[in-house]
Amino acid sequence: MKQWKLESRFDSPPNLPVLREVDVLVVGGGSAGVAAATVCGRNGLTTALVEKYGFCGGAAVAGLSGTICGMFKASDNADRQPEQVVFGFTEEFRDRLEKRGGVTEPQIYGKTYTVTHDPLVWREVADECLEEAGVEVFFHTAVTGVIMDGDKYKGVVVQSNAGQSVILAKRIIDASGDAAVVSRAGGEYFFGDNGVIQNPTMFFRLGNVEMENYLDFFGEDTICPAKVTEKILELNASGEYQMPRHKIWIFPTTRPNELMVNATRLAGQDGRVLNVIDPVDFTEAEVFGRKQVREYARFLKAHVPGCENSYVVDTGVEVGIRQTRSIEGVVKLTNEDVVSCRKRPDGIVRTPWPIELHSGTKPKLHWLLDDWYEVPYGALIPVKGENIIVAGRCLSAEHEALASARVTAQTFEYGHAAAHATVISIQEERGFRDIRGEDVREQMIQAGSRF
């Protein structure tokens, strides 16, 4: 796989118009970015957020991942009930969705639970949070360069249909998911396990489903039963279908007679791992992702009761991206931290979600039963550079650890943590490395997080 090294660094501000000068610039409007910008704005910091699409939501909305995973403990107990252990900004956003009818009750996902959200309502709740907090949002705007003074981040160059301009900021939160700011400044990062990263996927929604018949056949668990996997394998062997993933996940949504389907497995047509940082790979994933959607939709229509008259409502605006760049951080979340359910005084979010590794014909699941681990604050701080912190799936984590730590409940809380660290950094004029994770954790507790 290609190892992309993208740098677009300016050691002094380029001769471009200054669009804004702010306390905090948040790059990326996914779950981490919305949380970070909202919390910074609430704490009195002038805050701007830039987002390449015309809406917030990132992988949850553009990628149509559609669930808030990582809120509930897993258990083998036969009489288990949903036990929520992650709160803070995650719970606030879920509650706002619920008040608008935009999120389901907990649904069974193997040994744990998740909830499914409405992507349109997600956008509206994000707009509401940002507006209430006084955040200035720039949609249809992408970062193309980073302004540095030595090792200090001072701002970014952005591109929109109006042309190029500059946003200057005292602190930057890179919530792009791809370490877009860190990488452009020449910061250190890596891709998965020696370049091997998780597969992207193309989510889709299926309408006109007779839900009673569907649930009688498929069951309440959103992970498919063995009989569905066996049928996929049988049909593949006959040559009638080509469905590369055998273990598929299907979630009833908030809308009547609709399912959200996570079934595709996207690899290069030559068998290579697709890295969507590369536009060639990204394009291939999009094109062949849509083709796979039609194949799985054909299968569901023909072989799953309740789906006989179903149709594809839509796919994601982009493929669902699980993994690209991970920063080299002050602290790295390790695979052992996850499987041992390590707790730590500088932990800034609980994570009960399993290692959910998508790299073959069926996902690998390693459950964390009746427990969780905590992600260290230092995993959000790049080893080099001042005035920068990350939030989201580009945190510093080993490959399998990231397969657990990357999900939505946690990315909301990474943004929450990055925001409180930014407030401390600006108000006390301290670098991010000089701030104790314990102090960030305490501020998060006061704002509703639990540890």
pLDDT in tens, 352-373: 999 988 765 567 789 999 999 9
**The pLDDT value given to residue 274:** 87
Tokens of 134: 């006084």
pLDDT in tens, 322-335: 999 999 999 999 99
Residue 285 pLDDT exceeds 50? yes
**Is the confidence at residue 1, as pLDDT, over 50?**
no
Q: How far apart are CA 71 and CA 94, in angstroms?
A: 10
pLDDT of residue 5: 57
Q: How many residues does the chain have?
A: 451
pLDDT digits (tens, 9 = 90+) for 413-430: 999 999 999 999 999 999
How much is the average pLDDT of 258-267? 94
- Phi then psi for residue 246, to 5 deg, are -100, -25
Q: What pLDDT shows up at residue 12?
A: 82
Q: Are 90 and 413 in contact (CB under 8 A)?
A: yes
SS (H, E, C) 245-300: CCCCEEEECCCCCCEEEECCCCCCCCCCCCCCCCHHHHHHHHHHHHHHHHHHHHHH
196-216 pLDDT, tens per residue? 888 899 999 999 999 999 999
pLDDT of 359 reads 66
Query: Each residue of 49-74: pLDDT tens digit?
Result: 999 999 999 999 999 999 999 999 99
Q: What is the DSSP string of 111-167?
A: TEEEEEB-HHHHHHHHHHHHHHTT-EEE-S-EEEEEEEETTEEEEEEEEETTEEEEE
pLDDT at 361: 58
DSSP code, position 196: B
pLDDT tens column, 176-188: 999 999 999 999 9
